[in-house]
Structure 1
Amino acid sequence: MSTLADLLAEHTTLSDAAAAHLQRLVAEWQLLADLSFADFLLSVRTDEGAVVTVAQCRPNTASTVFPTDEVGRVIDTAVHPQVLRAFDSDKVLRDEDPTWFGATAMRQEAVPVGFDGAVIGVLTRAVDLTHPRLPSPLELAYQDSADDLCQMVADGTFPHEEGNPRGLSTPRAGDGFIRLDRTGTVTYTSPNALSAFHRMGWTAELNHTRLSDVVKQLVTEPFEADDVAMMLDIAAGVAEVPTGPYRDIGMRVEADARRATVLIRAVPLRPKGEESGSVVLIRDVTEVKRRDRALISKDATIREIHHRVKNNLQSVSALLRLQARRTSNTDAREALNEAVRRVASIALVHELLSGSVDEEVDLDEVVDRLVPILVDVASNESRVTVRHRDRLGVLPAELAMPLVMVLTELIQNAIEHGFDGSPRSDAEIAVIAERDVRNLRIAVRDNGSGLPENFDLATSDHLGLQIVKTLVSIELGGELDVRPNPEGLGTEVGVHIPLRS
């Protein structure tokens, strides 16, 4: 599916600034479609003079009159001559007679898209006329605002280059709609907008009130209340922008009232440069913010638990290390050092989880930080180099924890038992990985003395291998095998773990 930028590059030679204006228009025109109860098509004129539709928008407030995808269609200007005429006009042009699209009767309007004194495109607004009826007050308020915005499109003053540094979303017309006149007084309030203000603590009607005065009474934080009130007055045309070269700026803000959190956006209405008030959209986001706060609190609690577990494990490790230094029994000292290493590997995973927001662990970071610890506590005389050859990737905590224990045991076992002869300068262990969407295969390969004669994995009583077999088969649901190094001297231990059950 081609993007708007692709279609503009294919069919036109518009400047970057003009193309950016059309991009902003398409980003904002859902509001136009909803307020108009109409479909919108954006058309551009090619260098050869043909008119091509490059974007399409359907309303959320009414059924569509274009059930098919119109993007890419060349418009027959003999059937819709007002579209072609709009490219040479600064006025909104309307069909004199309804047009039939299948069994649907519709009225079409051609809205020239003005930019920098030129027409760079045309909006076609198509309204369903099949079932005529008297419009409700809400529909009248919507359509009146839509007419003003369409005129501003022709003037080149909508959409605005609106800053949104906080990345706030845009409320829809159906979330809550308020129309202000040029004095900032409410002339119409939709039921959803009134409900939002009731949640904020307002108990009376909003019509015929100054909305900025109402907001000042409801928003909890005084400075924030002043900012919202100023935004509403600037949009309506009551106040000037304190700084900056532009006056007609649509703004949005998230405000906390006594009992609710709302997202408010104000859109100035300046058809033909004349003050016409503003449209205010409001969405009650109280429950969304409550869930966000609950998730943030839960996430912070989980990370704090991981942090404390890591601290406790490090304390245990330090006590074991102290005990190992004080004991004179060689076997006891070796067992205590092995315990130090196992506890340290678990603590390292908890340390990484304490800084994670999604309970996932980067195994490559774990291995890179774990290897120096394992080499440092090695008891043999050979200085072993451990190479981490391939990327292991990220795994959820429930898989990462036992897998780190497995790797710890395998690397340590290779260091302790693969090079237990005379000192060597070329002692090396490689951690090799192969991963796809379903499986992870890891091989720990050394160039040491190889497997003992008559070695049998099933009957081996070595504690490290027993731990590995238990973790791989029970915790990870995988398979373990031990074989000679296929590249020459030494041993290779393979671990195969399913990533999808």
Structure 2
Amino acid sequence: MSTLSDLLAEHTDLPGAAVDHLQRVVGEWQLLADLSFADVLLWVGTESEKNRSEGTVICVAHCRPTTASTAFPEDAVGTVVSESEHPQVLRALVEGRVVRGEDETWREGMPPRREAVPVRLDGRVIAVLSRDTNLSHQRAQSPLELAYLDCAEDLCQMISDGTFPIRESRSDTNSSPRAGDGFIRLDTEGTVVYASPNALSAYHRMGLSSDLVGQDLAALTRSLVTDPFESQEAAGYIRDTLADKPGRRMEIEARGATVLLRALVLKPGGRHVGAAVVVRDVTEVKRRDRALLSKDATIREIHHRVKNNLQTVAALLRLQARRTGNDEARQALTESVRRVTSIALVHDTLSMSVDEEVDLDEVIDRLVPMLSDVAGVGVPVAIRREGSFGVFSAERATPLVMVLTELVQNAIEHAFDPGVTGTVTLSAERSARWLDVIIHDNGRGLPENFDLEKSDRLGLQIVRTLLGAELGGSLGLHPGSGGGTDAVLRVPLGRRTARY
């Protein structure tokens, strides 16, 4: 099954910021599906924006509710439909408004069978989220169902407004409680106006002996938590949410119970109407998770030790380079120091990560001063980064960092005449499909009749090998538009489907 990133890379040319926003939508939408009692599908246009009105749409992600029967027994991911087959989705994409199926309105508290909601980012519609309800199993309109549906409507309006989801860590949203674990609705003052039975049970386990409805949730939670610092933090988290200052979901402990809590401000149409809080009693889960903590710590410790060993190797090579009297040997040892150091930086980042992913911007920003130090030239060369490289998996981050290191070092060593200062710029642009990087220098330009494929420079040979064997990318060296040289690097991000 293709991932969301793969499908977006194959069928769209969305910029990286739009891809990140859709990833956040998918990270949140299990809550929306459960509150809506409906399947939630994410659709994108398969044509360019100028031809969007005549194009088709494709489903790139599908979420089923855990609170109701699915409307689609078969998975809808990869389904391509035209306007005649799914008219409200394409209309929502083109018109930028919530569109319901023909003659479908809310009746007696029941939602419409089919609804399409535009997904906005910075004022632009980038996708459509549809809600499809299986009305063959009609639900009794209890207070729980009404509270769920009311909150779902607010969240959908915020998605259409472009104010939800907010930018927060993926681990935060992916580990959040679900609506069925426990749901609480607050008014604008932070008073509980509805609490589901599971939410009430979670608070009872923390020591509450009364009902939740009518209570100030922040003050109540503070009174139940025994640790004074944690109690203040929990109360502040709820109040900050009501003040539209979102924070990370948090765990609170009271009387031997552990409860996971996450709060979301509700501002449909820009109007503050309160907040939704989902809670989950994770006491038993927490006990099992403690056994996994030692495993995660072991993995991070391995990365830390690998980093230390690589730094020791780099130090030994640096010492040997200083003691050798052969200029060629000294240069080779210095280049080895740089390569080993770049790999060590990746392991250092992984030693502080829990998900085996590397923020490449952080690594490059730490690597740039080291490249300047070991440049081996007699004049200063300024190195700067523009744009964002984003997050990569550990297995791809190491070869990519090495490729960038070699290209920057190649520019430093070969672009500038003796005694001439210069600048090397790394410009990155990330889309759903590609990471495009240009390493530009303002030096003397490429040698006459230069051929990348025939070059015998070790650094360029390393780059070509890593691009072909590890990254599946491409490299070109061209004269810069304003002088100097551009090393143009393109690395695919999504898995491309083979075409015949």
TM-score, normalization by structure 1: 0.54
- CA–CA distance in structure 1, aligned partners of residues 128 and 42 of structure 2: 6
Confirm or deny that 1:140 pairs with 2:146. Answer: yes
Q: Deviations over 1:446-471 (max 9, x none)?
A: xxxxxxxxxxxxxxxxxxxxxxxxxx
1:2-151 aligned within 5 A? 2-47=2-47, 49-97=55-103, 107-151=113-157
Task: Give the SS at the match of 1:153.
Answer: helix
Structure ranking higher on relative contact order (CA contacts 8 Å, 6+ apart): 2
Q: Which residue of 2 aligns with 1:309?
A: none
Cα displacement (A) at 1:128: 1.6
| Residues 166/275 of structure 1: CA separation in 2 closer, same or farther (3 Å cut) | closer
**Compared CA separation, residues 47 and 76, structure 1 to 2 (3 A):** closer
CA–CA distance in 2 between the matches of 1:176 and 1:190? Answer: 6
**1:130 Cα deviation (Å)?**
2.1
The residue number in structure 2 matching 1:196 is 202
SS of corresponding position for 1:128: coil
3-state SS, counterpart of residue 87 of structure 1: helix
Deviations along 1:201-224, one digit per CA (max 9) or x if unpaired, are: 010001011000101101121111
Name the CA shift for 1:62/1:166 in 2 (closer, same or farther; >3 Å).
Answer: closer
Is 2:228 aligned against 1:231? no
Provide closer, same or farther for how the CA distance between residues 205 and 92 of structure 1 changes in structure 2, counting only shifts above 3 A. same
Partner deviation per Cα, 1:182-210 (whole Å, 9 max, x = no partner): 11010100000000000000100010110
Letter paired with 1:273: G
Determine the structure 2 residue equivalent to 1:349. none
How many angstroms apart in 2 are the aligned matches of 1:35 and 1:133?
Answer: 13
Which SS does the other structure have where 2:264 is aligned? strand
| Pairing 1:268–2:274 present | no
The residue that corresponds to 2:283 in the other structure is: 286
Q: Tell me how far 1:165 sits from its aligned partner.
A: 7.6
- Match of 1:7, SS state, is helix
- Tell me the residue number matched to 2:225: 219
Q: Contact between 1:263 and 1:285, CA under 8 Å: does it hold in 2?
A: yes
CA displacement 1:120-155 (0-9 Å, x = unmatched):
000110012224454111010000000000011101
Residue 94 of structure 1 deviates from its aligned partner by 1.3
Could you say which residue in structure 2 is the equivalent of 1:277? 274
Question: Given residue 44 of structure 1, which amino acid in structure 2 is its aligned partner?
Answer: V
- SS state at 2:61 partner: strand
Q: Which residue type is aligned with residue 7 of structure 1?
A: L
Q: 1:166 to 1:251 in 2, by over 3 A?
A: closer
Deviations 1:55-86 (A, max 9, x none): 11100001101111211111231133221111
Larger Rg: 1
Partner-residue secondary structure (3-state), 2:95 = coil
What's the secondary structure of 1:121's corresponding residue? strand
Give the aligned residue type for 1:225: S
Letter in 1 for 2:264: V
Q: Which residue of 2 aligns with 1:488?
A: none
Residues 366-400 of structure 1: per-residue CA shift (max 9 Å, x gap): xxxxxxxxxxxxxxxxxxxxxxxxxxxxxxxxxxx
Q: How far has the Cα of 1:288 moved from its partner?
A: 2.4
Q: What residue in structure 1 maps to residue 429 of structure 2?
A: none
CA distance in 2, matches of 1:161, 1:356: 30
Provide the C-alpha distance between the structure 1 equivalents of 2:138 and 2:234, rounded to a whole number of angstroms. Answer: 40
2:248 aligns with: 251
- Contact between 1:65 and 1:128, CA under 8 Å: does it hold in 2? yes
Query: Is the contact between residue 250 and residue 267 of structure 1 (CA under 8 Å) also seen in structure 2?
Result: no
Report the Cα distance in structure 2 between the residues aligned to 1:136 and 1:225, rounded to whole angstroms: 33
- Separation in 1, partners of 2:39, 2:172: 30
- Report the Cα distance in structure 2 between the residues aligned to 1:2 and 1:11, rounded to whole angstroms: 12
User: Per the alignment, do residues 54 and 76 of structure 1 end up closer, same or farther by CA in structure 2, a change over 3 Å counting?
Assistant: same
Q: CA RMSD in A?
A: 2.8
| Partner-residue secondary structure (3-state), 2:71 | coil
SS in 2 for 1:88: helix
SS in structure 1 opposite 2:94?
coil
Report if aligned partners of 2:69, 2:137 keep a CA contact under 8 Å in 1.
Answer: no
In structure 2, relative to structure 1, the CA distance for the partners of 1:233 and 1:5 (3 Å cut) is same
Query: How far apart are the structure 2 equivalents of 1:167 and 1:39?
Result: 19
Whole-angstrom CA distance in 2 between matches of 1:9 and 1:221: 48
Where do 5+ consecutive residues of structure 1 fail to align? Answer: 100-104, 238-246, 301-354, 358-501
Amino acid at match of 2:215: T
